[in-house]
Chain A
Amino acid sequence: MAKFTKKKDGDLPAVSTASLPDIVFMLLFFFMTVTTMKDSSLLVENTLPNASEIKKLEKKDRVIYIYVGKPTQEYQKVFGTEPRIQLNDKFASVDEVGSYILAERAKKPQELQNVLTTALKVDKNANMGLITDIKQQLREVNALKVNYTTYEGNAFNNLQ
């Protein structure tokens, strides 16, 4: 009889969690390598259009970002539903674009100041009027290299 009662106090052996840190570290390193630091939070809706003939933007330190789109739900009460420009962390008007580019350019090291690219991250529902105004501003400060940031995909999906 003693043979049977003995088993009872044994219970199930605890699952070894010794390898759990290893698994979590693996996940951690995965995310550290495939992601980059967020530099500003989005205040505008930003669904980019698709394009197939794209080029990768190498070297993040040579890029200045401009976001355009409809303000997100929480800002719509204040800023309305018309597409707006976002520079860094705040909304801006068209004529602030030029001085923003100059300020950003001045922050970069001397040797990079001539090779900067302006990445336009524009929501696909925005109108060209605003983009044309931005382009005019960019031309005035001689920031001629632009990149229309898009997702990779079939360009004809944009039209639906």
Chain B
Amino acid sequence: MPRRKGAPEVNAGSMADIAFLLLIFFLVTTTIETDAGLDRMLPPIEPPEEDVIIKQKNIFTVNINKNGQLLVEDNLMDLKNLREAAVSFLENNADGTCTYCQGRKDPGSSDNPTKAIISLKNDRETKYSTYITVQNELVGAYNDLRNREAQRLYQRDFTKMEAEYLNPETPSSIRDDLKDKVKRVQNMFPQKLSEAETSTN
């Protein structure tokens, strides 16, 4: 009698066990990464060759003490108002050379966004979380202004454009196009955030 059944069926009952084993291995050895944060550049260690004289009115000083209180331009300030104060300092436009600024043109504040510098100082005992919140607000002030200009020029948010530009999965044709736009908006409000040495008192 010829065989009618063909090849005998392979028992796949243990397939689930093998798959579970792999699953558990990957669960144990991997983590879901939280790789996002505030990008900052540290100042180079060599001092600049010539001393650049910066007018006091072009510097926006932010001091954080060990209790997390803020001293902004020699006045005590609440953290919630910091972003607004930084925005109005950056686009103050006292010399009137910045055509896209909407500042008050207060002669006692910054000349124009390319000259405006934010200086951040902190105490050694300042808590890291407070420091990050202040950094976040200052970066946020720049982003608010850049978003506003990007909306006006390209009808898009600057932060979205930059994220798309930095994403390696974006096709290079779109990236090249975005590069000029991102650079242009960045140059309108260049990020000048200086961190001097920590006070030790």
Residue numbers of A with Cβ under 8 A of B are 17-18, 20-21, 24-25, 27-28, 31-32, 34-38, 48-60, 63, 117, 119, 122-129, 131-132, 135, 138-140, 142-152, 155-156, 158-159
Contacts and interface: CB of A to CB of B under 8 A. Distances in A.
Given A28-B19, A122-B128, A142-B45, A51 B26 contact: no
17 contacts: A17-B16, A27-B23, A28-B23, A35-B32, A36-B30, A38-B30, A57-B37, A58-B166, A128-B127, A128-B131, A129-B198, A132-B197, A140-B45, A150-B37, A150-B132, A156-B80, A158-B132
A132 B198 contact: yes
Contact of A159 (B13, B16, B44, B68): B68
A52 B136 contact: yes
Nearest to B38: A148
A155 B19 contact: no
Interface of B: 12-13, 15-16, 18-20, 22-23, 26-27, 29-45, 68, 79-80, 122-133, 135-137, 139-140, 143, 159, 162-163, 166-168, 195, 197-198
A158 B126 CA distance: 13
Contact of B129 (A28, A49, A140, A142): A49
A36 B31 contact: yes
